[in-house]
Amino acid sequence: MAKKYVGQRIKRNEDPRLLTGQALFVDDVDLPGMLHAAFLRSDYAHARLVSIDVSAARRRPGVVAVYTAEDMGDDWQHGPPLVSPPPTVKDIVFHSRTQVPLVKDKVRLAGEPLAMVIAESRYIAEDALDDIVVELEPLGAVVDLEEALQPDAPLVHDDLDSNLAAHLIQKKGDYAAAREQADVVISRRIVIDRGTAAAMENRGYVAHWNPKSQELTLWDTTQSPIPIRNGLARMFGLSEHQVRVIAPFVGGGFGPKIMMFYPEEVMVTWATLQLGRPVKWIEDRRENFYATNQEREQVHTAELALTRDGHILGLRDDFIHDTGAYDPYGLTVPLNTQCHAFGPYKIPNYYGDLKVVFTNRPIVSPLRGAGRPQGVFIIERLLDVAARELGIDPVEIRRRNLLPPDAFPYDNEIIDQAFVPLVYDSGNYLPVLEKAVEMIGYERFLKEEQPRLRAEGRHVGIGVVSFIETTGIGPYEGARVTVAPSGQINVATGVGTQGQGHFTSFAQIVADQLGVSPHDVHLVTGDTAQFHWGTGTFASRGAVVAANAIHAAAVTVRGKVLKLASKVLDTPEEELELVDGHVRVADIPQRSISLGQLAVLANPLRGAVEPGTEPGLEATAYFGPKYGATASGAHAAIVEVDPETMMVDVKRYVIVEDCGTLLNPLIVEGQLHGGLALGLGNSFYEKLVYDENGQLLNASFADYLLPTALEVPRAEVSHLETPSPLNPLGSKGVGEGGAIPVPAVFAQAVESALADYGLEILEAPLSPNRLFELLQAARVTRDA
Amino acid sequence: MNNLHTITVTVNDTPYERTVEPRLLLSDFLRHDLGLTGTHVGCEHGVCGACTVLFDGEPVRSCLMFAVQANGHKITTVEALGTPDNLHPLQEAFWESHAVQCGFCTPGFLMSLVPFLEQNPDPTEEEIREAISGNLCRCTGYQHIVDAVKLAAKRK
Ligand code: FES
Ligand code: FES
């Protein structure tokens, strides 16, 4: 079937409402009798709760209720583990410790909620927080990852012997033997620091228990409304049909909005069940810095064993991963790191020792990239050091190690985040790298431009990096496609949307099958009353898993349309075509019937239908891939370092991406641009700074710097398409690819710009100050 | 707090008289007292620009002002620009250029850019980037927003 819309740059169906301020976000929900919540949060990162007195707060006019953990009785429970704990394979250690709705005995992170006030307005609720008298006995805080494992470290969870949350060793081949054979072994300590997602919309919840209809409705800024519905129903003893969760327009997700459950989410829901009135809580930005999950901090000791001519013999990557105060998200992030250190390269031998530690800091869960940027940073930094030591060009050393196109499916022989083998389904890596090299003008830059600029006293450098991205993991998504009597096509699916353009790219798929315009396809998503099977939007999976479910449902509906039309038009199905909302006889276009008329005929009010006939032109379908689809890419950058200010100006940025079949290049490019901006933040601007007491020192946008339009360069984007064999559309995900390799490219380019100093960058993010310190240290070494 | 003030504010050409606490933020007044929820709030400390509205024609951050300061003044919000069926030319350019992803930041960008384009009908890329450097967007990387502004300028 010819694809008319899939692959086209189609502007988005959802935009007119967003552009005019008419789109509904959670904070826009306003219900009669609605109350407002505010949370009292701990100022200490680690402390024992001695006493809490809320009596004065309860007496304040306008306050309706004040709750502490004690008030919750048996409803006070730890959150469920969000992803399944690892299978109990030999030698795996995993301690599941999940978050609590309100602190009962011990505070484990600064900002953890101690009490909730419900009042007639948010202003009054916040006033009442000042009326609460709390006594906390501060304890030593666990902040540093390596110190967390020292025998004398304070314990985040008193019932454990240490702060070790998990320990796992993965192996492939025989790394020790490979190391023996190697001509050169590169060993480095590499550190990646914490950042935050900083979606422009903070979290928010509006919960409404209607005691008369016995129904609970929750508007939630979540990326996975269906699991939230199921979990809340279980938690509060309701049937799933009594609970409706709506994730309306969500102002950016990037991972942290997939948590199940945030304390506030549980508390707002619990409060409406007590009070029978709607309760709203909207996070403010300061709270977002303390109470929304974060990511990225790891300390690696990594080693690359190579032959003299730069072929990789083996990789060893031992690292400590910070999970924060609790670990509801299991091993997803660090397993991604392990896997992505394999990159697009042939690495025959591997040894990876992973230790996960509890610290007194916010919970760690996936943030756009989800452990992948760290893995890419490790292998790419080691390759750069190796290239320098061996006197091989950085691009050339990558060429020599890329997997060849006939290697697929390629099994890396370790397990990935879903505990299934890390298999790359397909790819063609060399052309992707060569395209990036060509677009940035690599050879010419090195031969002509860089020496010329250097002679002018300017420090300009280049970086080129290859990477893969595992995307589109299971378990499954589903969708229902319906032809309405009006001729409009309705699609319902479970994944929520946070700006990825699902209303459009999904509509394009359906439009191709049913011969309508994408603008006539009406998608509802993120409302459990419309569709209630599925998991959510994460791991760059919407364009793979949900899209293929929609495709399958649309194919079935197309079959039903043709079957019925064949009868009505008295023409064999093969001679029919679907065009402009009609089914017509190919040679005699005037013999046609509209989809709407067919929908009416398919749902008769009287008369008999053939046995086994289903009413309507509707189908529901599911898609669950065996394993993920592996996208790949190469990024290249030219940067200039100002030796006076240490500011880094990204002069050019090239992205070549292979995400399989492109559904809508316009949307894909938008995803890449946004990813690049975040990646740049993770390279140079965005670092959460904690002091030794676990206090966050830069909890505002004035102090934690998001890249603005002045920092983010224009991206030059090119696509190659190696369709995934694992799904009918051939799509792979792209939600995170823009962000993943940026710190690695940035570091390589900055080193290139400062080549005179022999600078080695073994950390991310940098900052002008940090770069200055590194340069001073390099100068001292060089001049010594 | 019973120190209430009665204020009259003209929002999108409609005069509203309301009695408010002096501490009520202008952003909360617009969103919650008047129900004009197109103006968004991303930080409430003056950095993100999502709450940008026009105050007597000049862009301001409504989270940094109190409603009482708007007494006797004219406020314009995104709701005044266009409707889904009749978009403002800048909105149209945003749509065509895919300058919107989650759309949370969008009203703030539009309200910063409308007066900018009036004063700079033919801006360079540098000037556009400078003009939106007080608005944060976490989704788009700004590139398509810059393209949209160029497109809107070209069409003028
Ligand atoms: S909400 Fe006003 S500037 Fe961010
Ligand atoms: S479009 Fe999401 S923050 Fe700008």
Q: What is the pLDDT of residue A733?
A: 74
Please provide the average confidence, as pLDDT, over all residues in chain B.
Answer: 96
A701-728 pLDDT, tens digit per residue, is 999 999 999 999 999 999 988 888 888 8
Integer Cα distance of B51 and B32 in angstroms: 13
Tokens of A428: 């063609």
What H or E segment, with its residue span, contains residue A107? strand A106-107
A200 lines ligand 2 (CB under 6 A): yes
The residue with greater pLDDT, A614 or A251, is: A251
Partner residues linked to A546 by β-bridges? none
Highest mean pLDDT out of A490-499, A562-571, A627-636, A681-690: A681-690
Tokens of B92: 């149209």
Choosing among B102, B111, B137, which should be mutated to test the A contact, i.e. which has the most A CBs within 10 A? B102
Partner residues linked to A472 by β-bridges? none
- For residue A25, what is the DSSP state? B
Contact (CB<8Å) A30/B110 = no
Report the side by side order of strands in the sheet with A588-594: A576-579, A582-585, A588-594
Tokens of A24: 């509904």
Q: Which atom of ligand 1 is nearest to the CA of B40?
A: 1
Contacts of B128 in chain A (CB under 8 A): 709
* Buried-state track A513-549, b at ≥16 Cβ within 10 A, e below 16: bbbbebebbbbebbbbebbbbbbbbbbbbbbbbbbbb
Cis link prior to A723 (omega < 30° from 0)? Answer: no
**Residue A127 CA to chain centroid, in angstroms?**
36
Q: How far away, in angstroms, is A362 Cα from ligand 1 center?
A: 24
Nearest CB to A708 within list B85, B101, B133 = B133
Q: How far is the alpha carbon of A181 from chain B, nearest alpha carbon, in Å? A: 46
Q: What is the pLDDT of residue A262?
A: 96
Q: How far is the alpha carbon of A510 from chain B, nearest alpha carbon, in Å? A: 21
Q: How far is the alpha carbon of A714 from chain B, nearest alpha carbon, in Å? A: 6
Q: How far is the alpha carbon of A88 from chain B, nearest alpha carbon, in Å? A: 39
Tokens of A276: 């029978």
Integer Cα distance of B51 and B109 in angstroms: 9
Q: What is the pLDDT of residue A540?
A: 60
3-state DSSP assignment of residue A715: strand
**Mean pLDDT across the stretch A501-524?**
90
Q: How far away, in angstroms, is A668 Cα from ligand 2 center?
A: 15
Nearest CB to A499 within list B48, B83, B103 = B103
Q: What CATH number matches the domain at B5-80, 3.40.50.720, 3.20.190.10, 3.10.20.30, 3.40.630.30?
A: 3.10.20.30
Q: How far is the alpha carbon of B90 from chain A, nearest alpha carbon, in Å? A: 10
Q: How far away, in angstroms, is A216 Cα from ligand 1 center?
A: 32
CA angle, A667 as apex, A662 and A668 as ends, to 5°? Answer: 50
Per-residue pLDDT band at A542 (split at 50, 70, 90): low
Q: What is the pLDDT of residue A498?
A: 81
Q: Is A79 exposed, middle or buried (0-12, 13-18, 19+ CB in 10 A)?
A: buried
The CB density around residue A446, as the number of other CB atoms within 10 Å, is 16
User: Domain segments of chain B: what residues?
Assistant: 5-80, 89-155
**What DSSP letter does each residue of A592-626 carry, written as one string?**
EEEHHHHHHHTS-SSS---TTPPSSSEEEEEE--S
Contact (CB<8Å) B40/A254 = no
Instruction: Count contacts between A and B (CB, < 8 Å).
Output: 183
Q: What is the pLDDT of residue A538?
A: 60
Radius of gyration of chain A (CA): 28
Which of A13-27, A526-540, A666-680 is predicted with the least confidence, judged by mean pLDDT? A526-540
Which of A295-309, A497-511, A558-572 is predicted with the least confidence, judged by mean pLDDT? A497-511
Q: What is the pLDDT of residue A705?
A: 96
**Mean pLDDT across the stretch A575-580?**
92
Contact (CB<8Å) A16/B104 = no
Q: How far is the alpha carbon of A9 from chain B, nearest alpha carbon, in Å? A: 10
Q: With 70 as the cut, is the pLDDT of residue A20 above it?
A: yes
Integer Cα distance of A582 and A594 in angstroms: 4
Nearest partner of B29 among B57, B70, B60, judged by Cα = B70
- Which residue CA neighbors atom 3 of ligand 2 most closely? B137
In order of their start, the domains of chain A are 31-139+200-252+258-291 (3.90.1170.50), 298-473+626-783 (3.30.365.10), 474-623 (3.30.365.10)
What H or E segment, with its residue span, contains residue A590? strand A588-594
Partner residues linked to A67 by β-bridges? A116
Query: Contact at 8 Å (CB) between A552 and A510?
Result: no
Partner residues linked to A136 by β-bridges? A49
Contact (CB<8Å) B84/A20 = yes
Query: Contact at 8 Å (CB) between A179 and B21?
Result: no
Q: Which atom of ligand 1 is nearest to the CA of B48?
A: 4
> Ligand nearest B47 Cα, by number?
1
Per-residue pLDDT band at A461 (split at 50, 70, 90): very high
Q: What is the pLDDT of residue A83?
A: 77
Nearest CB to B91 within list A20, A670, A708 = A20
**What DSSP letter does each residue of A143-158 carry, written as one string?**
--TTGGGSTTSPPSST
Which of A4-8, A440-444, B65-69 is predicted with the least confidence, judged by mean pLDDT? A4-8
Tokens of B22: 């002096």
Please provide the average confidence, as pLDDT, over all residues in chain A.
Answer: 92
B48 shares contact with chain A (CB less than 8 Å) = yes
CA dihedral for A425, A384, A465, A370, sign (positive or negative): positive
| Residue of B30, B53, B60, B63 to mutate, ligand 1, most atoms within 8 A of C-beta | B63
- For residue A104, what is the DSSP state? S
Contact (CB<8Å) A19/B103 = yes
End-to-end CA distance of chain A: 70
B102 lines ligand 2 (CB under 6 A): yes
**Mean pLDDT across the stretch A470-484?**
84
**Mean pLDDT across the stretch A401-425?**
90
- For residue B122, what is the DSSP state? S
Nearest partner of A224 among A329, A121, A304, A99, judged by Cα = A329
Q: How far is the alpha carbon of B42 from chain A, nearest alpha carbon, in Å? A: 5
The CB density around residue A5, as the number of other CB atoms within 10 Å, is 21
CA distances from B27 to A196, A745, B30, B50, B100 (A): 25, 40, 5, 10, 22
Q: What is the pTM of this model?
A: 0.94
A345-363 pLDDT, tens digit per residue, is 999 999 999 999 999 999 9
Q: In chain B, which stretches have pLDDT less than 50? A: none
B113 shares contact with chain A (CB less than 8 Å) = no
Task: Tell me the H-state helices in A614-664.
Answer: none
Q: Which atom of ligand 2 is nearest to the CA of A499?
A: 2
> Ligand nearest B25 Cα, by number?
1
B97-132 pLDDT, tens digit per residue, is 999 999 999 999 999 999 999 999 999 999 999 999
Per-residue pLDDT band at A1 (split at 50, 70, 90): low
| Nearest-10 Cα torsion for B26, B28, B33, B38 | 100
Q: With 70 as the cut, is the pLDDT of residue A543 above it?
A: no
Q: How far away, in angstroms, is B109 Cα from ligand 1 center?
A: 12
Which CATH architecture does the domain made up of B89-155 adopt? Orthogonal Bundle (1.10)
Query: Contact at 8 Å (CB) between A273 and A236?
Result: yes
Tokens of A640: 């200039």
Query: What chain A residue is nearest to B105 in terms of C-alpha separation?
Result: A200
Q: What is the pLDDT of residue B47?
A: 97
Integer Cα distance of A688 and A279 in angstroms: 32
Per-residue pLDDT band at A476 (split at 50, 70, 90): confident
B37 shares contact with chain A (CB less than 8 Å) = yes
Per-residue pLDDT band at A10 (split at 50, 70, 90): confident
A85 lines ligand 2 (CB under 6 A): no
The residue with greater pLDDT, A85 or A408, is: A408
Crossing angle between the packed helical segments A394-401 and A372-390, to the nearest 10 degrees: 110
> Ligand nearest B48 Cα, by number?
1
Query: What chain A residue is nearest to B130 in terms of C-alpha separation?
Result: A710
Q: What is the pLDDT of residue A3?
A: 72
Cis link prior to A81 (omega < 30° from 0)? Answer: no
Q: What is the pLDDT of residue A629?
A: 82
Contacts of B81 in chain A (CB under 8 A): 20
Integer Cα distance of A433 and A429 in angstroms: 6
Q: With 80 as the cut, is the pLDDT of residue A238 above it?
A: yes
Per-residue pLDDT band at A136 (split at 50, 70, 90): very high
- For A246, how many CA atoms within 13 A lie in the half-sphere containing its CB? 17
Q: How far away, in angstroms, is B40 Cα from ligand 2 center?
A: 11
Q: Which atom of ligand 1 is nearest to the CA of A701?
A: 4
**Mean pLDDT across the stretch A78-107?**
85
B140 lines ligand 2 (CB under 6 A): yes
A158-171 pLDDT, tens digit per residue, is 999 999 999 999 99
What phi and psi values does residue A68 have, to the nearest 5 degrees?
-120, 175
Contact (CB<8Å) B95/A22 = no
B23 shares contact with chain A (CB less than 8 Å) = yes
**Mean pLDDT across the stretch A566-588?**
91
Q: With 90 as the cut, is the pLDDT of residue A207 above it?
A: yes
Q: Which atom of ligand 2 is nearest to the CA of B139?
A: 2
Per-residue pLDDT band at A76 (split at 50, 70, 90): very high
Nearest CB to B141 within list A23, A666, A712 = A712
Q: What is the pLDDT of residue A709?
A: 97
